[in-house]
Structures are given as structure tokens and as C-alpha cells.
Amino acid sequence: MFTKTNGAAVQGIDALMIKIEVSVEQGFGFCIVGLPDTAVKESYQRILSAVKMCGIEFPRRKVVVNMSPADVKKEGSAYDLPLAIAVLAADEKVTADRLERFMLMGELSLDGSLQPIKGVLPMAIKAREHGLDGIIVPKANVMEAAVVNNLNVYGADNILEVIGFFNNTYDLQPTVVDTREMFRRQVDHFDFDFSEVKGQEIVKRAFEVACAGGHNILLIGSPGSGKSMMAKRLPSILPPLTLQEALETTKIHSVAGKLKQGSMLMTQRPFRSPHHTISPVALVGGGSYPTPGEISLAHNGILFLDEFPEFSRQVLEVMRQPLEDRHITISRAKYTVDYPAGFMLVASMNPCPCGYYNHPTKQCICAPGAVQHYLNRISGPLLDRIDLQVEVAPVEFDDISSTAPAESSAAIRERVIRAREIQTRRYEGIKGVHCNAQMTTALMHQYAQPDAAGLEKLKDAMTRFNMSARAYDRILRVARTIADLEGSDRVLTYHIQEATATSTAATGQSAGCSDNYLKKYAQINYDETYFRQKPRIDKRRQLL
């Protein structure tokens, strides 16, 4: 007898429908065709044991399985369930009337129980796209698949329940999830808050600007100044995920197998912090069986690289293209996979190998030339792609011992959301541009052109520090974000001044600037106390 059922193969972060055709005929043997890998070929032994443990006799005839389309590589153990059910249906032990109206995916244990698999969310989306009646997955994956609306999602503990479902002897109940309500309840929960951070008003302001415009940021400071501690609180001031962004982010983590068992939709922006020993493949993705890398797992969130210069040069340089294009294409001899990589880069580093260059109380003990050599580990083209470069000073005792409450993440987040809403309206209808960090040159000329005085300040800064054309662009992008935080339609002089000061810490030091970069910028009439004021527009203008 001949029968069909449906499965799915994951390609990138999307799924492809796989038709599983089974023919049971006279003869002996078990044959699978259609580019199965070793794990798929080994499914015969798992299916044989699982069926016998359930008290069902496996067909003692020739079984031929075709997995279509035949030119797509079939990988992994998730095809165990559809193969087993299709074989039993072809042997007339399972009723095949409804088999083609469902997608089945799951790994079988030798006792017939179903084990969780990866990539269930894109599979469920593909099943809905093809108008199927439902999808049957292991119970551990059912909440993940149930995120997809307008599709019946069934979770089964073992193969006997699936057999009973098609034979109408067991009633599997569909799992229903109110995706929007669940998303609304969990979107504002965070473990860390900026109210716990004492002092560091300059860095907090830089973080606010970075999150408001989606800018990459580099923190330079001595050990113990709070770089990593503050970076971990960044997700609490980023705008909340939209439902579409949450689905896209969850798909990536589902394909990579990073979702916790029983989890549903991701409601918080991802925060990925790989160790500096990471390989280029682990960072960008790929491998023998292509999986998303850290830059894709950080999509719609933050990629935090602590001890930035300790990463290998090859690892850092492979990020240059994804930072601009916001996606990564993995090309191999037999396949090409495209992964999204729209992340916000947050990096931190010491100013020198010993960590105390320019420290107010401790002396640097590095050898002559060691500081410049250490800073040169970060290439100029990569630095040019980091819009904000901020020096983190040690926290003073008065700030540490203060009992006055610091500004909460919720208050900062409100300002960030308002600025993002302005950008959303501004770039509405422009494909691929959602925030100021993604502005093209043409958009900068249209929306970020400074006034004459601001242009003169920018010219002075670029001459002093020998900045590149890309540095000019990033200062304008940051200035546009600062103006959005104030609700200003125009980019004014003091917006340019703040953007210049917060965009040149690393550039200034690499150019041999031994003084504190904010003090250096005092020479172009920039008032350092600007950062320490509450965000009141009229007060800022008085200071400047």
C-alpha cells in the first residue's frame, strides 16, 4: 500500500514542506531515499524498537520511503514520528484518511516516547501557510508551536497517542495560547535596573542615546568602573519587542535549539555575551549542519563583547559586514543560508593592558608603546562602525555611598520609546530603515543636516582628530538621535557637540590624545557639565 504524510526541513530560520511517501510491497528491506543524512537513516532502528515496545508488529515486507523534494538535504532525528506513522499507515495499521492534512515531527525514543526537537515554530508557521488542519509535535514543544494562531497544535507524549488519534481511539486536545495576552504580561519584566547604578551619569546618558537610536557603543574604562554591570541593564531601557519582532527572534532561537523546554514566545530582547575565545563560525553561524551564530541569536537585541581587544582579529573583522548589512549570508559548496543579524553591538575594554592608563589615582605600568599597540588591536574600519565611544571613569566615593535613589530604567525607557516613535514615523515606508543608526547618506542630508555653527564645530573636531568620512556620518546620526530625545525637528549646535564628545573616545586615544577626551573637547567650547544636568532643554541651552 502507498501513503503520504507531511514533515518539514529547516532552512535558515524558515521551514520547507517535506512530503514523506511510503510504499509497502512484496519483498524484504527498508530503504530511504531523498538525500537523508545519517541521523535520518538510523531512524529505522529507533522506529523498529518504538513500534515493538508499543505492541505493534512492524511490516515484514519491503518498505521504500521517499522524502520529497529529493534534492534537499534531510537532517536530524525529527523525522522519526512522520516516518513511523507513514509506514504503519502503508501497512494498514493506522487509518490514513486524515494523514495528509497534518504535519508530524518528533524524535522517537526506543520505548516509543517523543523527545523535543528544534525549529518547531517555523515548522508550525509553514503548516499554517499550506492550509493544513494541524501539527502534531512532542509535548515539550507544544507551547512553542501554539504561538501560531489559526492552526490546531497537538502535543503527544508517545507514538501510541498519535496512532490512537488517527485511528479515532484517543482524543488529543489542541493547545490554545492567547499570544497577545501572554506577550503583554511578560514584556516589561527585567532582572536588572539602572536605579541600582550609583553615579556614572555620563555613561547612562550615552546608553540612553544609544538605545534611542539603535547605535553601537564602546565603553573604555579601568577595571571595576562598572562597564559590564551597566551593560547588563541595557535591555531594561530598550523599546519593547513588537509582536512581529518577538516571532522573528523566537524563530531564530527555536532553530538554534536555544529555547527553554516549555517556553513560548520570547518577550524580551536577547542579550548575548560570548567569551572572547569564540571562533568566527560560532560568531557568524554556519558549520557542517548550519546553525545561527551569536550575531543572529542577538538579532533585535544586544551583542555584548566584554574585553573587546582580547577577541581574535579574525573574529572581530567578520562582524564588519553584518554591522552594516544587518544580515549574514553563509555560503558553502552545497548550500547558502541567510540569517538576520540586526543587533546592537555593545563592547567594553580597558584603556591599556594593565587597565590603568589615564586613571585618576593609579599609575599605568605598561611599557612604552604598549598602550598604542593594545588600542590598535581594534581596527579603524571596525571603530568607524561604532557610533558611540565613551570613557568610563571610576566611581567616586560620594557616589558609591550615596543613599539617594538613582533614575530608574522605566523613566529612561519612556524617553527612549518616545524617541523611537519619532523615528518610526519619520522612516515609515522606507524599507530597511527603522531607527537613526540605519540612516543612509541621503537620509542624513534630509534629516540630520546641522546648522552653520554646528557644522563649524564638527569641522574643527574632524580636523583635530583626523576622522574619516564614516566618522562624520556617525556623528550626524548620533546628533539626530539626541535631537529626537528632545523632540527637536532640527539638529542644533549643542546636539553636534554632545554627539562629537560621545563619538570620539577611542578615536581620540588612537590618535595620541593623552588627556581625558571630554577635557580635550572643552577646547572647542564644549561644557563637560552638560552631561550632569537633568534633561531640560532650556537648562542645556543656558549651559552651552
Query: Residue 187: what pLDDT?
Result: 65
Q: Please determine, for residue 117, whether its predicted confidence score (pLDDT) is greater than 80.
A: yes
Rounded Cα distance between 333 and 386, Å, is: 33
Q: Which residues, listed in sequence order, are joined to residue 336 by a DSSP beta bridge?
A: 331
Which cell is 135 given? Answer: 501539527
| pLDDT tens sequence across 428-466 | 988 888 899 999 888 998 998 888 888 888 888 888 878
Rg (C-alpha) for the chain, rounded Å, is 28
Q: Please determine, for residue 529, whether its predicted confidence score (pLDDT) is greater than 70.
A: no
Which cell is 160 given? Answer: 501510541
Nearest C-alpha neighbor of 124 from the set 256, 39, 14, 36: 14
Q: Which residues, listed in sequence order, are joined to residue 346 by a DSSP beta bridge?
A: 217, 304
Helix axes 469-486, 452-465, angle to 10 degrees: 140
Q: Are 154 and 173 in contact (CB under 8 A)?
A: yes
CA 439 vs CA 144, 195, 395, 489: distances in Å:
35, 32, 35, 16
Q: Which residues, listed in sequence order, are joined to residue 25 by a DSSP beta bridge?
A: 62
Helix axes 80-90, 159-166, angle to 10 degrees: 40
| pLDDT tens sequence across 31-44 | 999 999 999 999 99
Rounded Cα distance between 345 and 535, Å, is: 25
| pLDDT tens sequence across 320-361 | 999 988 999 888 777 788 999 999 999 999 989 998 888 888
Determine the 3-state secondary structure of 415 from DSSP.
helix
Listed in order, strand segments (DSSP E) in 354-420 are 388-392
Higher pLDDT, 249 or 180: 249
Calculated CA dihedral for residues 473, 476, 480, 481, nearest 10 degrees? 70
Nearest C-alpha neighbor of 59 from the set 85, 41, 81: 85
pTM of the model: 0.85
Rounded Cα distance between 358 and 115, Å, is: 56
Rounded Cα distance between 422 and 377, Å, is: 37
Which cell is 53 given? Answer: 515496545
Mean pLDDT along residues 76-92: 95
213-222, 239-248, 402-411, range with the lowest pLDDT: 402-411
| pLDDT tens sequence across 472-508 | 888 999 999 999 999 999 898 889 988 888 776 544 4
CA angle (381 as vertex; 377, 387 as ends), nearest 5: 100
Rounded Cα distance between 127 and 132, Å, is: 6
Query: Residue 523: what pLDDT?
Result: 34
Q: Which helix (H) or strand (E) holds 471?
A: helix 469-486
